Structure 1
Amino acid sequence: MRRTERYPVEGPNALWQIYRTVSKWKGVKNFICIQAARYCPSLPVKNWIYRRLLGMEVGKESAFALMVMVDVFFPEKIHIGENTIIGYNSTILAHEYLTKEYRLGEVHIGSHVMIGANTTILPGVTIGDHAVIGAGSVVHKDVEPYTFAAGNPLQVIRKLDRPSDESAGSQQEQG
């Protein structure tokens, strides 16, 4: 289940009312920064833009492929762990504007996650550590750690093996 906060609107649809929710200047600044990052060939520069100019949490050595589109209006609601790859032309949304309401939700993508190309991640989802999301998927619900999921609608394809030293470590913690 996605975790989003709902905000009802009256009058025209919520997208027509966008600048009652978000400053025009924030939208313009974010758009320019995101477009620069989408085409930037340098991963450290991209991560600097995401962290410093857009307020996203991006872990060490995470990589955004060419043309990744992060949420223009609420990028600060996106949190990505370490050593994660976001595939070519993927989209990460933290908002959705509907006819009678808009919704906002934090997006949490764990560490060591692989997101395939052309994937859309919707607001309010969590993708656990070491998960793999197949190309072209729509992530509309949480994905547990060590899970391979794909499709539209998203389905769990299989559970992934945990390294033996990690499972041994968790057994020692329980004991």
Structure 2
Amino acid sequence: MPSFDIVSEIDVQEVDNAVNQARKEVEGRYDFKGSKAEIQWDKKEIILTAEDDYKVEAMGGILQTKLHRRGIDIKAIKFEKKEEAGGRMLRQKVLLVQGIEKEVAKDIIKLIKDSKLKVQPAIADDKIKVSSKSIDELQECISLVRGGNFSIPLQYNNMRP
């Protein structure tokens, strides 16, 4: 039976490249000369550390630009609240959103079921598996979900005829 998966994934290598580009730009910018601004990346989250609010905001903007240029959807990153880091420093965590949360998965399945398409969606871990007897129905389902406005970026893979 034909099927495909709806997933929310990030290319970690592209994020790594974007973070390195952002670091280089921060090091080379005139307004960051002599400051203790840094970007840390540990494969799960990005931490922006700087002396004042302006520099943290500027680093966030640089990071967003570099991620977007590398093909990472901006919906896939989530900026947390700024916090004191000691020594008059500010810290802001940037989380990478991967996988489909249960609430979002339920919204996607509700959208598919309300459309009356002859497909069977099912939640499997952090992805949604959709199957049907007709490939045309699956393609209509992909178009339907693409038109939906969800808080995370979605990809469609493993299309099996």
Look at both structures and tell me which one has the larger radius of gyration over its CA atoms.
2
TM-score of the pair, normalised by structure 2: 0.27
Higher helix share: 2
Pick 1 or 2: higher relative contact order, CA cutoff 8 A, min separation 6: 2
